[in-house]
């Protein structure tokens, strides 16, 4: 029997199983690792300046791009046949008036005539001939436009009565200098008012006759106009 003692510490020591790490060493390493970390903080961290700047720049550049490419929110912009210049010109061009609007404008313009020919168009016997029922008003536009452009002087027969006065020129050189539109409007008005039966006269027709008579400077006489009336 050996003297060895199974319970001796020295013996025991020799048989201790060595773990990879002891409790103390684990705790020590953890302490080190924890010390390396930042202390946890409360509250929030402000947005990094770079990110704020980047987002702001994106919003700004996006706005600039949008404004430059919005196409005025016009759905036709995506039409390949769309011509922006032509569309702009068409929008700013004066709109053609309806016949009713032309008559309405002529009625206002007639106030100028009414001082002589009277508001009822009946004229003043012996001084101003009538426009209501007048053969000149209801007759050829060739003649009527010429009377307005350069005036009328000397004896003239209207509805069987002879007048001898001076009808002022409303065209070039006269005191009024009305344009083609105004002359066409007032004549279109008088030709359908007071039971008159004349047709409307366009500004284009007035312009043509104005051109034809560009060299004329004196008022017409009845003798000059009567042959034109039959044309």
Query: Where along the sequence are the contacts to ligand HEC (CB under 6 A)?
Result: 112-113, 115-117, 128-131, 134, 136-137, 144, 147-148, 152-154, 156, 158, 163-168, 170, 186, 190
Q: Which two tokens stand for residue 211?
A: 């051109």
Closer residue to ligand HEC in complex, CB, 89/108: 108
Nearest-approach distance from CB 97 to ligand HEC, in angstroms: 18
Contact 122, 130 (CB under 8 A): yes
Closer residue to ligand HEC in complex, CB, 87/107: 107
Closer residue to ligand HEC in complex, CB, 62/99: 99
Determine the residue with CB nearest ligand HEC.
113
Nearest-approach distance from CB 154 to ligand HEC, in angstroms: 5
Cα–Cα distance for residue pair 230/170, rounded to 1 Å: 24
Nearest-approach distance from CB 231 to ligand HEC, in angstroms: 17
Cα–Cα distance for residue pair 221/156, rounded to 1 Å: 8
Contact 206, 180 (CB under 8 A): yes
Nearest-approach distance from CB 209 to ligand HEC, in angstroms: 14
Helix, strand or coil for residue 165? strand
Closer residue to ligand HEC in complex, CB, 87/122: 122
To which H or E segment does residue 152 belong? strand 152-158
Nearest-approach distance from CB 94 to ligand HEC, in angstroms: 22
Nearest-approach distance from CB 208 to ligand HEC, in angstroms: 19
- CB contact set of 158 (below 8 Å; sequence gap of 6+): 123, 129, 130, 134, 135, 136
Q: Name the region of 159 (left: φ>0; alpha: ψ -120 to 50; beta: rest).
A: left
Helical segments of the chain, H only: 9-14, 23-36, 49-69, 84-92, 99-117, 135-138, 141-150, 180-190, 203-212, 222-229
Closer residue to ligand HEC in complex, CB, 70/159: 159
Closer residue to ligand HEC in complex, CB, 87/139: 139
Q: Which two tokens stand for residue 6?
A: 């199974």
């Amino acid at each position: 029997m050996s003297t060895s003692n199974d319970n001796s510490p020295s013996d025991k020591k020799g048989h201790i199983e060595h773990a990879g790490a002891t409790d103390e060493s684990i705790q020590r390493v953890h302490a080190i690792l924890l010390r390396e970390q930042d202390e946890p903080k409360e509250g929030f961290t402000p947005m990094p300046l770079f990110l704020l700047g980047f987002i702001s720049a994106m919003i700004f550049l996006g706005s600039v791009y949008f404004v430059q490419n919005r196409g005025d929110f016009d759905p036709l912009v995506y039409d390949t046949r769309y011509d922006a210049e032509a569309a702009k010109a068409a929008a700013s061009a004066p709109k053609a008036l309806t016949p009713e609007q032309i008559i309405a404008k002529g009625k206002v313009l007639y106030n100028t005539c009414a001082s002589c020919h009277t508001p009822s168009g009946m004229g003043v016997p012996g001084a101003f001939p009538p426009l209501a029922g007048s053969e000149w008003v209801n007759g050829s536009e060739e003649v009527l436009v010429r009377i307005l452009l350069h005036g009328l002087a000397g004896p003239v027969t209207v509805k069987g009565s002879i007048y001898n006065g001076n009808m002022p020129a409303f065209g070039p050189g006269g005191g009024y200098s009305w344009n083609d539109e105004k002359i066409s409007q007032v004549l279109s008005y008088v030709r359908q008012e007071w039971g008159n039966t004349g047709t409307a006269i366009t500004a284009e027709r007035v312009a043509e006759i104005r051109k034809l008579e560009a060299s004329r400077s004196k008022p017409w006489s009845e003798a000059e106009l009567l042959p034109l009336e039959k044309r």
